[in-house]
């Protein structure tokens, strides 16, 4: 896997609410957080377009959504319509779709395993007819595991050689 710099990852619920927007850039100031919020938000446009154009295609990976300023934005939609948006630093090198797809799948799995935390449903009504899945809760700051996993993935992506050793 060639080296890439993962700038940010966004998880967006099926209702298009942000679940978690995690930035990995070093200048982790407020401006960049807002910037990736905007990127995640605007990429929903392209995701919706792709999904609509894809029809009943079951492909999760949506490919390059757009490249703007210094990031290339890729999209992925899980079968349950959770959207994952990845912002990669724009570098002058070929990005293989296979690798991004792999990265998306890893993120999807991270989300999935974070979601399986039974404690997330502690406060959920037991007789809920429509499943208020703890989509949004999982991104809350008090659930650290998810963030840790994402950071781990980001680290692996940035240093593929290290990861191969471990």
Partner 1 sequence: MNSYPPELLAQLAPVMFVAGLDPPPPSTPTTAQSPTTPTASKAPQQDPFVILTMRLREALLAQRKVAIWQPDKSKSFQIIPVDKTVRFPPRKLVPQDDPGYSAAHSPLSPLTPSSPLHPDGLIAPIWIRKHTTLVPSVFVMFLRIYEYPPHMPRSPLDPPDPDRERDRELEERKRDAELAADIALRKKSTNERNIKLTVVLMATRRMLDDPSLDGRLTYIRRQSGLDSRAALFVLSPVSQQELGDFVKSLQQALYEPALEYYTAHSKRVRRKRNRHSQAISSYPTVPHTPLGTPGIGRPLRPEGWTVRYEYKMACFAEFRGEDDIALKHYQDAYEMLVIMFGSTAILPPRTKRWAEAKVLADCINIKVAKLYLYNNEHALALSHHNTHIRKFGDFSRGWGIGEETFEFWSWIARQHRILAELLEHGTQSKLVIPDHRPVNPVASQRPSVAVPSSVLELEAMRTMGMNPSHALQHPGYYYYMAAKCTEARRERFLAAAEAEASQTSPHNPSPGFTNEKKVDHLIIILELYTKAYELFKKYAPANAQNQNQGRLTLWIAYRIGQTYYESGKFDMAVRFFERIAKSYRREKWGLLLRPLLATWYACARQLGDVELSIRLLVEMLGYGVEESEDPASLEEDLLAVLRNSIPSTPDPEPMAIDLGESQPMLDSSVAFWTSEVKVGEPAAFQLCLAAPTTITLASLPFASLEIHFSGNLPPVVVKHAPEVLPAVVQRVDLGHISSSGAAGSPVANFRWQPGAAVVLTGTVSSGIPASFKILKVVLTLVEGPWTIQIPFDPSKSRGSSVPSARWLSSVDPPRFFPITREDFSSVIIRHRSHSILMSLSHKAPAYLDEDYPILIEVTNADDRELEVTADVLLQPTEIDGTENAIVLDDERSSSLIKGVNFGVLQPGVSVVKTLHLISTGAAGERMVDVSIQSTAVGGHQHENPELQDMTETLQTLVVPTSEAIKVNFGVVYKRALTARAGVADLRTYDHDFWDDSDGGEAIVTAQMECAGPWGLEVASVKLLRKDNEHAKVVEASIDTDNDIPSDYLTGDEFSDVCRVSMDIGEDLDLAEAAITGPGSYEVNWRRILGSGDRGPLSTSIFPLPPLRPPIDGVIALLDVSPTAKLHVPVPLTITIRNRHPSRSANVTIQLEPDPSDGFVVAGLRSGRVPILLPGGEEKVTWRLIPVDCGYVKVPRIKIVDKRRALVSAQAREPNAEVETEGDVVKIIDVRLDRARERKITGRVSVESTR
**Per rule CB under 8 A, is residue 80 in the interface with partner 1?**
no
Q: Which of residues 23-52 bind partner 1 (CB under 8 A)?
A: 30, 33-34, 37-38, 41-42, 44-46, 48-50, 52
**Per rule CB under 8 A, is residue 77 in the interface with partner 1?**
no
Select 91 or 145, whichever has its Cβ closest to partner 1: 91
Helices 97-115, 144-158: axis angle to 10 degrees equals 160
Integer CA distances (angstroms), 25 to 30, 61, 121, 148, 155, in order: 11, 24, 32, 15, 11
Question: Do residues 63 and 74 lie in contact, with contact meaning Cβ atoms separated by under 8 Å?
Answer: yes
Separation between Cα atoms, residue 102 and residue 157, nearest integer Å: 11
**Per rule CB under 8 A, is residue 16 in the interface with partner 1?**
yes
Shortest distance in whole angstroms from residue 166 CB to partner 1: 25
Question: Do residues 72 and 90 lie in contact, with contact meaning Cβ atoms separated by under 8 Å?
Answer: yes
Q: Which of residues 126-165 bind partner 1 (CB under 8 A)?
A: 126-129, 132, 134, 136-137, 140
Q: Which of 14, 63, 81, 109 binds partner 1 (CB under 8 A)?
A: 63
Separation between Cα atoms, residue 45 and residue 11, nearest integer Å: 15
Select 9 or 100, whichever has its Cβ closest to partner 1: 100
Which is it for the CA torsion 82, 147, 154, 152, positive or negative?
A: negative
Residues in contact with partner 1 by CB under 8 A are 16-18, 30, 33-34, 37-38, 41-42, 44-46, 48-50, 52-54, 57, 59, 61-69, 72, 88, 90-101, 122-129, 132, 134, 136-137, 140
């Amino acid at each position: 896997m060639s080296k890439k710099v993962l700038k940010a990852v966004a998880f967006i619920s099926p209702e298009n609410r942000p679940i978690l927007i995690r930035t990995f850039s070093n200048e982790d100031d407020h401006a960049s957080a807002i910037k990736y919020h905007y990127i995640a938000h605007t990429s929903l446009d392209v995701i919706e377009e792709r999904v609509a154009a894809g029809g009943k295609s079951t492909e999760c990976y949506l490919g390059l959504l757009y490249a703007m300023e210094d990031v290339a934005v890729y999209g992925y939609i899980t079968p349950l319509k959770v959207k994952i948006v990845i912002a990669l630093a724009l570098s002058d090198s070929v990005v293989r779709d296979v690798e991004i797809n792999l990265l998306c799948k890893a993120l999807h799995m991270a989300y999935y395993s974070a979601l399986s935390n039974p404690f997330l449903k502690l406060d959920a009504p037991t007789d809920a007819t429509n499943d208020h899945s703890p989509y949004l809760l999982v991104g809350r700051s008090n659930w650290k595991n998810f963030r840790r996993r994402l950071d781990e993935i980001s680290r692996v992506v940035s240093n593929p050689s290290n990861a191969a050793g471990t």
